[in-house]
Every structure is written in C-alpha cells, then in structure tokens.
Amino acid sequence: MKLASLQSSHSDGLLILVSKDMSQASLVTDIAPTLQYAINHWQQLETSLQARYELLNKGEDHNAFPFHPQQTTAPLPKTYQWLDGSAFLNHSDLMQKAFHLDPIVGADKTPLMYQGAGDDFLGGYDPIIAISEDHGIDFEGEVAVIVDDVPMGCGKQESLGHIKLIVQLNDISLRAFAPKEMKTGFGFIQAKPSTSFAPIAITPDELGDAWQDGRIHLPLQVTWNNQWFGHPNGREMSFGFHQLVSHAAKTRKLSAGSIIGSGTLSNADREAGSACISERRAIEMIANQGVPSTEFMKFGDRIQMDILDESGQSMFGGIDQFVQPYSPKN
C-alpha cells in the first residue's frame, strides 16, 4: 500500500491512500482518521485498508480524486519517537579520514544512533527555513521505517515483522552547530532542525525484490540546483533496518509510530556521488590536503530527491525543497 497524510486543520493530517501510479488518492478517514491511528491499530485495520487500496488501483473507488503531493504533510507530521542511525559505514569512514578522528570502537558491530526531535516534521515540498546561511545548511538523503509496538529486547529477525511502513526523508542539518554539540556528548539539538519527509509511506511489499535483508536495494537520486549530485544505493547499508530496530529496542519497548532512520546513504564507489554536502566536502578534504571546495546551501537553493523503481516510477513521491530565510511570517 501507499499511504499519505492530506493537509488539514488537524495537526496530524487526514489519512489517504495513493494509487500505485500516484495519479489518484482516496480519503480513508472512515477506516482510520490519521496514519498514527492506523499504525496504532494496524493488525485490525490492515485488511480494510488493503481492500480499499485494491479498489483504488482498479479505478473502482468512486470517491477517488487527483493526487497532488504538494497538498500533503509528512506521512506522520509528528511522532512519539524519531531515532536516526548511521548505518552506512562508508560515510563514517570518510568523516573520520577527513577530520582525522579516531575510529569509534565497535562501530562495525553496534549501530550508531541518536534521538532526534519528532514533534515538527516537514512535508517533502515544504521550504527549508533557515536563520542564516552561516549555519552551514546541508541536506541528507535517507530512508527510514515506521514500526508498530516493538517489545523490549526484540531480536533482529523478529524486528522485521514489526516494520510496517517505509519512508524517504531529508534529514536537514546545520553543520556549523554540529562540532560543538558532538563534543558535549549529549547529542544534537540546534544542528538538527525539522526533518522533511517525502509524501508517501509504503508497505514493504510495494518494493518487491528491492526489499531484501531489511534494506532497500534501489538508488536515491539527488539533484542540487538542477545538477546531479549522487545516486547512492540503499543496498550498501552496513546494518539492515531489522538490526537498527532491534538495537533501539534493546533496553526499552518502542511505541507504534516510532521512526528509525538509516542515516545518510553512502556508497564506496565514488561514481555514485553523495547524498549530503558534508560527505562531498570530506572527499575533497581527503584529496586536497584538508581543503574543501563545495560550499553549503544558500538561500534560494533547490534540493530534489527521489527513489524510483526499475520502471522509473517514484516510490515515495519525492522531495523538492527550496531554502528560504526565516521571518516571523514563516
């Protein structure tokens, strides 16, 4: 299934189903008013949602209407818990080499993860609002999963069954704040403004053979100011999502609606490019005696991201954002 949240006066949006070709949508608030409600009652509601989805794709839903991704919020406009991993060790290795950092002991065996702010997500077509260009505005192309209730101590294979939906996101970062906050040992606050999400959340079966070993075996197409920036493939995750979920649930349960992120997609092959500016700068620093040449984002810049299937169909509805300066009217 493809699910999304329509903009409304309700802070959690209104739940809709979206057809496979993303041309049509159907309001399903008679089944579940919001996506959070659907996740909370997934076992009871999945069959009804699937039946309506099949009607929509057959063109037999008489209440269907044209789907416009610009009219959506993030699939979950807010959630109880947003945990972001760093599951692509190639990215971590580049950062360590560029900044001459000591390797993190055990990082190849235990996933890195931090707790982000889940109270104010952006839609994939909302502007990126920043106070100053001096804050080092960066994009980060990622994917994530949404789980139902996960018990404490859940094993890796059991965790696969708790993954109900998959989403695509831009984990916006303000790099000027990151070094200081990392040194405190308390995690990110100012370096991580609101994260933006592509409009559509999909069930794993929508990926077909591209969903293997808790990984998305498809490239993320990244374009910055209408210029190709990268197409790293999700298959190179050093830890699958089942491992990330199990890690997060090691000493506590996870509530339904919790989102677990992959971290920036990153491939060892340089021809795959990058999914964030920071990684490109790290590559430049390694090659040019510590001197990067790529600047961070400026006001007016445009970032586009999308994951396409083998036929060229967008899986998540894409992300298309412009950077705008903050003003009280925002």
Q: Do 140 and 20 fall into the same domain?
A: no
- 132: in domain: yes
Q: pTM of whole model > 0.95?
A: yes
| 285 membership: H or E segment, kind and range | helix 277-287
Q: Do 48 and 183 fall into the same domain?
A: no
Q: pLDDT tens, 273-314?
A: 999 999 999 999 999 999 999 999 999 999 999 999 999 999
Q: Do 209 and 138 fall into the same domain?
A: yes
- 330: in domain: no
Q: Do 51 and 124 fall into the same domain?
A: no
Q: Nearest 5°: phi and psi at 248? A: -65, -30
- 154: in domain: yes
Which structural domain range is residue 46 located in?
2-70
3-class SS of residue 59: coil
pLDDT at 57: 98
Can you give the CATH number for the domain in which 269 is found? 3.90.850.10
Q: Do 57 and 85 fall into the same domain?
A: no
CA distance 178 to 249: 26
Other CB atoms within a 10 A radius of the CB of residue 144 amount to: 24
Cα 56 versus chain centre, distance:
26
pLDDT at 36: 98
Measured CA to CA in angstroms, residue 181 lies from 187, 189, 259 at distances of: 6, 8, 23
Q: Do 145 and 227 fall into the same domain?
A: yes
pLDDT at 178: 92
pLDDT at 272: 98
- 297: in domain: yes
Q: Do 161 and 19 fall into the same domain?
A: no
pLDDT at 167: 98
CA distance 274 to 136: 17
pLDDT at 329: 77
The DSSP call for residue 75 is: S
Does residue 87 contact residue 239 with C-beta atoms inside 8 Å? yes
Q: Which of 70, 86, 111 delimits the end of a domain?
A: 70
Does residue 241 contact residue 163 with C-beta atoms inside 8 Å? yes
- 28: in domain: yes
Q: Do 280 and 295 fall into the same domain?
A: yes
Q: Do 6 and 81 fall into the same domain?
A: no
- 257: in domain: yes
pLDDT at 258: 98
Q: Do 159 and 49 fall into the same domain?
A: no
Q: pLDDT tens, 174-186?
A: 999 998 988 888 8
Q: Which of 41, 70, 99 delimits the end of a domain?
A: 70
Q: Do 11 and 90 fall into the same domain?
A: no
- 256: in domain: yes
Q: Which of 18, 36, 70 delimits the end of a domain?
A: 70
CA distance 54 to 84: 33
Q: Do 191 and 271 fall into the same domain?
A: yes
Q: pLDDT below 50 — which residues of the chain? A: none
Give the number of domains in the chain.
2
